[in-house]
Amino acid sequence: MTAGEASTTADASTMADTPSPKPVSVLFVCLGNIGRSTMAEGVFQSLTQPPAGPSHPLISHIDSCGTGAYHVGDGPDSRTMSTLKDHGITTYRHRARKFHTKDFSEFDYILAMDDDNLEDLLALRAREVKRRKADEGVGTVMLFGAFGGKTRKGGRGEEVQDPYYGGRDGFETAYEQSVRFSRAFVEGLEKGEL
C-alpha cells in the first residue's frame, strides 16, 4: 500500500464517522427575474448540477425569482442568455416569477443581488417570522456578494448591479460576479461555514 492509499483509507474512515451535512436549496433574487438572478441561477446550476456530470451532494434545489412582477412568465433577457451561451452554459431554461412568502419555507438560502432586494427580502422575512412566531424553518436571507465579493463601506458585500439599461458589458460583469460568488458560496458549504 502506498502513502496515498493509506491517506485515502484514513480519510474515508474519518468521513464515515462524521454525519453528512443536509443538502440545501438556494434561491437567487433580483428585481425582475430576467437578468441578474437568472444569470446567477444559470451559473450556479452549471457549477453544481452540470448536465453531463454528477450533482453536488450539498445542493438540492436551485431557482430564481424577482421582488417585482414586471416580467412574470417571460424568459431571461437575451443578453443574459447570450452571455451564458458564450461561457458554455447552453441548457439553462427559466420563466420569470415573483417572490412568494412560501419561498421562505422552500429555500434554505435566499440570496439577493443588491441592497434594495436585500432590504425588501429582510422586511418580508421579519413579517413572516412574526406571523409564524418563530424563526425556525424560515430561509436565511443574505446578499449574494457576501460570498467572494469585495467588502464595501459598512461591511456589506459586493452588489450585482442591474445591467438591464446598459450594454452587454454589464451582463459580462454580472456573469463574472456570479461565478466568483457561487464558487465562494459552495466552498463555504463544503467547509461547514454556512
Residues 91-127 as b/e (b if ≥16 CB within 10 A, e otherwise) read: ebebebbebeeebbeebbbbbbbbeebbebbeebbee
162 three-state secondary structure: coil
d(Cα 129, Cα 101) in Å, to the nearest integer?
Answer: 11
Could you identify the residue written with the cell 416569477?
97
Active-site annotation, residues: 30, 36, 162
